[in-house]
Structure 1
């Protein structure tokens, strides 16, 4: 038996993880009805930004969900916006449904709201979409879509039930995070008024804290000066807190001043268009000039304000569930679509150097220095398949169905596990076909067994691929490569989740075995993604190759 095969979980765990859950098992404990489901997704939020994952940002509402539920420490997204959303909503790797690179899903690649709606659920969406096709065609009954990602204080494009809305007027004092929450609250009120007898699925997809860094001045003021000590000190503080919380017990990854997204503006252009305080690489804080330190501190204050405001809006939604008596019977999942971003580009209306940082006329990005801190303790950033790009917090809160409070789960999981979990609790079997076309088996596993104890979730491997980056995790072993043609690196994540010591040269046979698994999965997933008729043409505004959302 090879070393890689010895890492496979036992058959009993595999069977437990894949057993269907009936309505009774997934019921709210009183009515025999499957739970309501609220999926909350942050955009470009770092692994350690929330207080309950080691951060200093005030996130009392997210922290309360963790205290009343469970936290996963080894959960994964895909490292980028649109493939993560494809995996989260379809239950498949993005490559299996032709969404990375972004294209039209096959007809069989139905999304989870469509499966739930046909069993009695009402389905609602508010916020970012970034999936091919109109929102309502994805199985939602109601939708508010914020299409414009670059103008938090006044989008040029947003839609209600797929129909264009006029741009907000200045007197409306529009702010994207608040508007997304307001529409979610509206859907909950509508549900209570007209469909209270039915369970609901609400997908609350914030754009915060994705660039541009924009936040209300009063929110920014709460953090002004807080980050004067710099990203190296903040990383150390977050690591210490993570160890105290039991989130992570390993070492801190090395800050990498070389690695930035290939589409970033060059440093001289950044200085010319943003100003002399901008920094293009994750240098040591002590290497920065006083002007750079002041400017970088101000940027992180805006990022923190965006996370803070998102937390407050989450609190309003949770409070509405509490007042309606639905909080205990609602399964709440909170995660981020990828790690914090090292991107530094300028879009939208450009950047006005005379504007106050964080205001509507500014366009700033977090950048690699603070992204490294936000992703503490891990290595690299959004779009990479190293841990800093693909690790996400996952909080699961469901008082009627989870007895444990404030506990931690170290079992690895992935966005592909969300759909099997929801279907299991709803008592719904994943269909073998859709639209007259056969569907591949779902690659994910239900997380329901982990609701009661921290046990392995049986699976063969976890697969990653994006923009030339690639990785595979099997048990505690991970191979990963940064960029097309780059050699495989090998890490033992049980000892080195910070990916500091590459073992590839010491264990070439293990690298060869894991890379063979990755290659077979890659070929099969690409084949599946082009099997069957396209569902529809890709949505307008799909990102061009190398672009970002």
Structure 2
């Protein structure tokens, strides 16, 4: 072989090596993980999903990574957290109810022993594990695999308790949650720099009560006087400009109000509160003022959460770990139509958004937050279960500022993290995870992660297969958590299913069940088949059932 051929061979080998080194599945070292979870954030709230709220840090993550437009949650806070942490549908691990389930299910249910958390899988693999913020999973974080945890719960709201004589006027829960995360990362850099880390950063924002810092509220005080109808149009237009083809704008359902009725509590809120999303121009000036102020506080909470995320990201950069940290951001459910007064009550004379108030977003601006989708948190329509999902990992993902339409689910986060961390599971210990690794979608926008996705929450049922989705839903469910017989008494005869083709109708407006009765029957039967599987899984993990893809 002459010199020229040798030189050419060396060049080809060098190019091949560089190609492998840059491949998305070949990060230079075991990655770190930062899973960021918001609470009651609507699909269109972040700027990179069409919102007008200032979210420059989330927007920057999206610009440097991927935005998913068909990513799902469970429609409620505690089930989604169980799904994120375990890789299973919450019904499999007794963290949400379903027809035929018993009292051990739901928000107070205890996971089977085989249903470990991500932290319990990662710690034996050499990871330091941290949790900051909201937990809402059975047991304490430090008893479930986390080295450090701070749930940042001082009071029912975001400020220090108004009843404490030694109240800390500088305490704000969102800031405290981020600060704990920063403290953990600083300690990691000083004492455990030779180990990778996993951090679960779970903000309470923008869940009610609507509490925000005065300076944050001031930035949005006059922003929403045009009303929810105009805001939905505005956000939909911005989504089109961003290239997000997520379907037409659903009309607001004026008959659908909060999922739970609390008339006595709503009366405390005063004349400005309403329980139905009526046309904006039909409201009195007083009601418009009250509703626009609530949306301003919601926006302020999202804005502040983004600012605090920015501080955490700055800490990662200071540590030199930003490039090799797999970061994802999502919400536990869609924006909430709930209206209630809890905690330390509501003082109508106090400044809106302050510690003495207890306000909720309600169905009007919740509809705007979930643009362009239909309904809200607790329902399994797209507005309740569609979440923003951002993934960022410079050392592991080539694609930048790209959209992904691959359907995925909160159950996929655990298997994705374990896949990237190269942690192998002992699948004889319990049922195989229902979640799938999202890694194929990082470079391939056509990669199939799921053939089907199953949903159930408080009498709302759904199944998605490909672009088809069946739904059976209740509008009025007063206090379902007090009726243990509800789930047990539901039967196959209850399934008055609707059918939608999401490829051209994610607004879920054109029920085509009558045109495709065989498809509806097949999908309904499959819903019950998976229900049966999940019930077996939750009762006895020693006989693993077939994975639900």
TM-score (normalised: structure 2)? 0.87
Contact between 1:447 and 1:457, CA under 8 Å: does it hold in 2?
Answer: no
Match of 2:319 in 1: 324
| Cα deviation, residue 429, structure 1 | 1.4
| Cα deviation, residue 168, structure 1 | 9.9
| Cα deviation, residue 403, structure 1 | 1.2
Change (3 A) 1:482 1:333: same
Change (3 A) 1:271 1:39: closer
Q: 1:238 and 2:235 equivalent?
A: yes
Match of 2:356 in 1: 361
Q: 1:471 and 2:471 equivalent?
A: no
Q: 1:493 and 2:502 equivalent?
A: yes
Match of 2:203 in 1: 206
**SS of residue matched to 1:454:** coil
* 2: CA distance, partners of 1:26 / 1:423: 13
| Cα deviation, residue 453, structure 1 | 2.1
Query: 1:503-522 residue pairs with structure 2 within 5 A?
Result: 503-522=512-531
Query: 1:312-391 residue pairs with structure 2 within 5 A?
Result: 312-391=307-386
* 2: CA distance, partners of 1:110 / 1:416: 13
Change (3 A) 1:428 1:26: farther
Larger CA Rg, structure 1 vs 2: 2
* 1: CA distance, partners of 2:76 / 2:423: 29
**SS of residue matched to 1:146:** coil
The partner residue of 1:422 within 417, 420, 435 is 417
**SS of residue matched to 1:471:** strand
Q: 1:80 and 2:76 equivalent?
A: yes
Contact between 2:338 and 2:363, CA under 8 Å: does it hold in 1?
Answer: yes
| Cα deviation, residue 146, structure 1 | 2.8
Change (3 A) 1:219 1:458: closer
* 2: CA distance, partners of 1:168 / 1:384: 41
Q: 1:107 and 2:122 equivalent?
A: no
* 1: CA distance, partners of 2:205 / 2:138: 21
| Cα deviation, residue 254, structure 1 | 1.5
* 1: CA distance, partners of 2:155 / 2:318: 32
| Cα deviation, residue 155, structure 1 | 5.1
| Cα deviation, residue 430, structure 1 | 2.1
Aligned residues: CA RMSD: 1.8
* 1: CA distance, partners of 2:174 / 2:449: 37
Number of residue pairs matched by the alignment? 493
The partner residue of 1:36 within 32, 41, 53 is 32
The partner residue of 1:310 within 300, 305, 309 is 305
Deviations 1:380-423 (A, max 9, x none): 00000000000000000001011111100011000111111101
* 1: CA distance, partners of 2:525 / 2:157: 44
| Cα deviation, residue 443, structure 1 | 1.2
Change (3 A) 1:168 1:475: farther
Match of 2:150 in 1: 144
Contact between 2:407 and 2:449, CA under 8 Å: does it hold in 1?
Answer: no
Match of 2:125 in 1: 119
Runs of at least 4 residues of structure 1 off by over 3 A? 24-28
The partner residue of 1:91 within 61, 82, 87 is 87
Match of 2:257 in 1: 260
Change (3 A) 1:189 1:271: closer
Match of 1:542 in 2: none
Contact between 1:91 and 1:417, CA under 8 Å: does it hold in 2?
Answer: yes
* 2: CA distance, partners of 1:253 / 1:40: 29
Contact between 2:258 and 2:362, CA under 8 Å: does it hold in 1?
Answer: no
Change (3 A) 1:375 1:316: same
Which deviates further from its counterpart, 458-467 or 55-64? Answer: 458-467
Change (3 A) 1:404 1:155: farther
Contact between 1:98 and 1:105, CA under 8 Å: does it hold in 2?
Answer: yes
* 1: CA distance, partners of 2:498 / 2:190: 55
Contact between 1:70 and 1:395, CA under 8 Å: does it hold in 2?
Answer: yes
**SS of residue matched to 1:125:** strand
The partner residue of 2:537 within 528, 533, 548 is 528
* 2: CA distance, partners of 1:406 / 1:238: 19
Contact between 2:406 and 2:449, CA under 8 Å: does it hold in 1?
Answer: no
**SS of residue matched to 1:389:** helix
The partner residue of 2:65 within 27, 44, 69 is 69
* 1: CA distance, partners of 2:199 / 2:26: 18
Q: 1:129 and 2:135 equivalent?
A: yes
| Cα deviation, residue 460, structure 1 | 3.2
**SS of residue matched to 1:118:** helix
| Cα deviation, residue 148, structure 1 | 5.8
| Cα deviation, residue 270, structure 1 | 5.5
Query: 1:388-403 residue pairs with structure 2 within 5 A?
Result: 388-403=383-398
